[in-house]
Structure 1
Amino acid sequence: MQTIRELFKIGPGPSSSHTFGPMRAAQDILASAPEAKSFEITLYGSLALTGKGHLTDAILKKTLKGKSVEIIFDYKTPQDHPNTMIIKAFNPDGSVITKTYVSIGGGKLMIDGQPPQSAVDIYPHTTMDAIDQYCRENYLTYDEYVSEVEGKDIDVYLAKIYKAMIDSVKKGLSKTGRLPGKLNLDRVAYALYESANTCHNEADRDALLLQSYAYAASEQNASGGTVVTAPTMGSSGVLPSLVYHYSIDKKIPKKVIFNGLKVAGLIGNLIQENATISGAKAGCQAEVGAACAMGAAFCACCDRMSNEQIECAAEIGLEHHLGLTCDPVMGYVMIPCIERNAVATTRAVDAARLAKYLRNVKKNRVSFDMVVKTMNLTGKKLPMELKETSLDGLAAVVMEKENNK
């Protein structure tokens, strides 16, 4: 299992697999063929079907600025992975460099069948059960376990992640108008924030504030702004909204926030190691579901709960997103993605609260490891049309109504 530095990355939205990953692929081919004057890029599977809505073509052309770029959307040729692209670089001497990239989620790439060079396993354990046993034997909390494996400098990295998360919420709250793209959606984060501040019911105010933060970060992502993969960009509204809430509203010290991020990163790592965080592989349960589990663990850690309560919170957060499809309308990370992030944010808080008391009266029959395994099995059984292709689900129903107007 890799460092959480590989999970938390800062980059341009709206999609870690469809924007951030392709950007890094273009950077890699440029490094491999610096003299090339033209490029031919073929996108397959989910990259082809939702590439325009996810700004895949735009980020490729932007990264290869000044070069001749032809982008081919191949909807029919099957590939082993739905996020596959082949890039050909044409050099002045007539030689051609061809490389195959697979965007495996979270901005990570497999290049010509090889995993990322930075993808070095540093964790000695790959399941929550094994981590629990080690922590019991060594009297460690989960955040202490992460610090032991990652080293003291992990806080320095998390300080950058913290700032980027806070900035994504602040920038999202500061903007009004419409989001880019053919859906013509209004930005509503600021309006929700203003509504929260005029709300007389304390419970409603707190929930609405939290959801306005999720909208803010998600709208920042949907507009191609800078966000943090947590674990992906499609789910980049959940954990940042909680970080903002605990830091700005609840005045929780940064050290505690960083510990919460360590635990959230551990949960995301376990999901990625034993299942997937790719919507194109397993639907939105792998993105927003994973983010909810990470967010629930973050809340539980910041509220000083035990390891057992934190694991329970993460399990609840993921279990109740099982089977969630990825069906973005017109390929945009807007409907249902933005609202889904806001709902998952409050679900994370609820999961942590329930775990706090539930774990005191009973031991979980269903463990976190079991739910991760179930999510993976469920993802494999979801039809391809409901895994980030915009071919079915809400993507089909909403457009059917639009076309019949």
Structure 2
Amino acid sequence: MTDHVSALDLFSIGIGPSSSHTVGPMRAARRSVEAVRDAGRLADVVRVQAVLYGSLAATGLGHGTPSAVLAGLAGMDPETCDPHVVSSMQESVERGGGLRLLGAHQVAFGAGDLRMAPLTRMPRHPNAMSVELFDAAGESLGRDVWFSIGGGFVVRDGDDEHAVPAAEAPFAFTDADDLLRLCDVEGVGVAELAWRNEVAVHGAEAAAAGLRSRWDAMEACVDAGLATAGVLPGWMKVPRRARQIAEMLGEQEARATAFAIGGSAVDQGRASSLLTSDLPAQWLQAYAMAVNEENAGGGRVVTAPTNGAAGIIPAVGYYAMRFHGVSREELAHDYLLTAAAIGSLYKRNASISGAEAGCQGEVGSAASMAAGALTAVLGGTPRQVENAAEIAMEHHLGLTCDPVGGFVQVPCIERNAIASGTAVAATRMALLGDGSHVVSLDAVIETMRQTGRDMKDSYKETSRAGLAVNVIEC
């Protein structure tokens, strides 16, 4: 059966710094405790043990995974939790010596109850964790093994990946070729086809409200990042730069506007070029950095399709709104729906997990989604949308995931800024053509899958290769 991946699931509101290492583990831990509660045994729990395996353990400290697991056990939800409370959970539990499961049942919790096993790699997925609850006699009340498969999605060992059955989505598609065929048959664009599926699954009112809330959260994240100064968590003491860049660009814009109005003919020409070319491109990068600095600081972000790549789709959308006159309504509807349709192809046929496919699966997928979505809102045909998405991914193939110190900071923040520019460039190239091209989106997605499979594990979010071992900790 074909599965439909909803835009409301692919774009979920959560917290930083990682969808797979923060949001996913929080959800998994909470669901394990809820299962025991639903079985009527929560009051019998006296001890909880959690173990992080593979990539979750290798980069867990830099990604805030221990605190996220504890927050999930305590019943917190990524969409509604206080990010500051989550970030301090490990310290609070260690200081207090206990944990209130689902906010209702107090149990002891010691340092040995949350263990790291970075060299143990589960066969199904490198992001694995187990949660087990015990009664006073030491008997297990339930043990779950979870896989955090990217984008905040989690699946329990033995279960199929969570998705909506195709019977509930009238226009479910398996690949890009299938998507284009359905657009041709129905005589609609990608966004309209995706909208019909969302309405069938969620209802029109809930689907529209969900999409609006996600674009509002994306826009708010850009604004927050542009307004916030300071230093990001961790030993690198990486300074936030988006606010300073925005202030510099604002000053350049003001000067260029003044020259454009009252300067000499030469100054007016230079000012016009700056205002229409250089500054928009620089603002685009600032928007992306703003989001990823918020993410790195553990703030409120939207998985798009992951947290490590969360800056690209908001940045390109914000750019479209400011410099191309695209409305918020178009961004919440056509832009996000088109991006989600493309993102669902990566999730279904390859991977959006850096621990499974490298950064090509995160930043590459996001750039592809943003390129196709921008093409759609600028008037591109479905085939131009597919072409733009293909171009953007083609030039991210082989991109490794090598976060320094396990933090989603270096090279992640700048990488989002560069990929945003690639997405816009891909849109420009696609709109100059008629949608005809040699390499199909399906071919590049399959190539990405194969490349991720062949990539050494040390280059897939383990911080054991690349920049992660060539930047000296001090």
Give the structure-1-normalised TM-score: 0.95
Q: What is residue 232 of structure 2 aligned with on the other side?
A: 179
Q: What is residue 9 of structure 1 aligned with on the other side?
A: 12
Q: What is residue 270 of structure 2 aligned with on the other side?
A: none
| Alpha-carbon distance in 2 for matches of 1:254, 1:75 | 43
Classify the secondary structure of the residue corresponding to 2:196: helix
Aligned 1:148-167 pairs, distance under 5 A? 148-151=196-199, 152-153=204-205, 154-167=207-220
Letter in 1 for 2:65: T
Moved more, 194-203 or 218-227: 194-203
The 8 Å contact of residues 193 and 208 in structure 1, kept in 2 or not, is answered as no
Letter in 1 for 2:189: T
Q: What is residue 398 of structure 2 aligned with on the other side?
A: 323
Letter in 2 for 1:246: A
Moved more, 328-337 or 110-119: 110-119
Q: What is residue 336 of structure 1 aligned with on the other side?
A: 411
Q: What is residue 109 of structure 1 aligned with on the other side?
A: 154
Moved more, 264-273 or 91-100: 91-100
Aligned 1:52-91 pairs, distance under 5 A? 52-65=61-74, 66=99, 67=107, 68=109, 70-80=113-123, 81-91=125-135
Deviation string, structure 1 residues 185-221 (Cα, Å, up to 9, x no partner)? 0000101111221234222211111111111110111
Q: CA RMSD in A?
A: 1.6
The 8 Å contact of residues 151 and 305 in structure 2, kept in 1 or not, is answered as yes
- 1:19 is the counterpart of 2:22: yes
Q: What is residue 375 of structure 1 aligned with on the other side?
A: 448
| Alpha-carbon distance in 1 for matches of 2:172, 2:367 | 25
Classify the secondary structure of the residue corresponding to 1:363: coil
Name segments (4+ residues, structure 1) moved above 6 Å.
none
Answer with 1 or 2: which has the greater Rg: 2
Deviation string, structure 1 residues 98-129 (Cα, Å, up to 9, x no partner)? 11000011111111321355554435321111
- Quote how far apart the aligned CAs of 1:248 are: 4.3
Equivalent of 1:133, from 167, 181, 185?
Answer: 181
Deviation string, structure 1 residues 121-162 (Cα, Å, up to 9, x no partner)? 435321111111121122111111111222134222100101
| Alpha-carbon distance in 1 for matches of 2:185, 2:70 | 53
| Alpha-carbon distance in 2 for matches of 1:233, 1:137 | 35
Relative to 1, partners in 2 of residues 1:104 and 1:374: Cα closer, same or farther, differing over 3 Å? same
| Alpha-carbon distance in 1 for matches of 2:136, 2:355 | 37
Classify the secondary structure of the residue corresponding to 1:52: helix
| Alpha-carbon distance in 1 for matches of 2:164, 2:468 | 34
Equivalent of 2:430, from 337, 350, 355?
Answer: 355
- 1:396 is the counterpart of 2:469: yes
Letter in 2 for 1:28: R
Classify the secondary structure of the residue corresponding to 1:72: strand
Relative to 1, partners in 2 of residues 1:379 and 1:158: Cα closer, same or farther, differing over 3 Å? same
- Quote how far apart the aligned CAs of 1:331 are: 0.4
The 8 Å contact of residues 15 and 234 in structure 1, kept in 2 or not, is answered as yes
| Alpha-carbon distance in 2 for matches of 1:204, 1:347 | 15
The 8 Å contact of residues 26 and 70 in structure 2, kept in 1 or not, is answered as no
Relative to 1, partners in 2 of residues 1:341 and 1:134: Cα closer, same or farther, differing over 3 Å? same
Letter in 1 for 2:19: S
| Alpha-carbon distance in 1 for matches of 2:19, 2:243 | 25
Letter in 2 for 1:160: S
Identity within the alignment, %: 38
Moved more, 65-74 or 235-244: 65-74
Structure 2: stretches of 5+ with no match in the other structure: 37-41, 75-98, 100-106, 257-273
Structure 1: stretches of 5+ with no match in the other structure: none
Q: What is residue 342 of structure 2 aligned with on the other side?
A: 267
Q: What is residue 98 of structure 1 aligned with on the other side?
A: 143
The 8 Å contact of residues 51 and 331 in structure 1, kept in 2 or not, is answered as yes
The 8 Å contact of residues 189 and 381 in structure 2, kept in 1 or not, is answered as yes
Q: What is residue 197 of structure 1 aligned with on the other side?
A: 250
| Alpha-carbon distance in 1 for matches of 2:219, 2:15 | 15
Aligned residues: 399
Deviation string, structure 1 residues 237-291 (Cα, Å, up to 9, x no partner)? 0001122222345442233212111000000001111100000001000000000
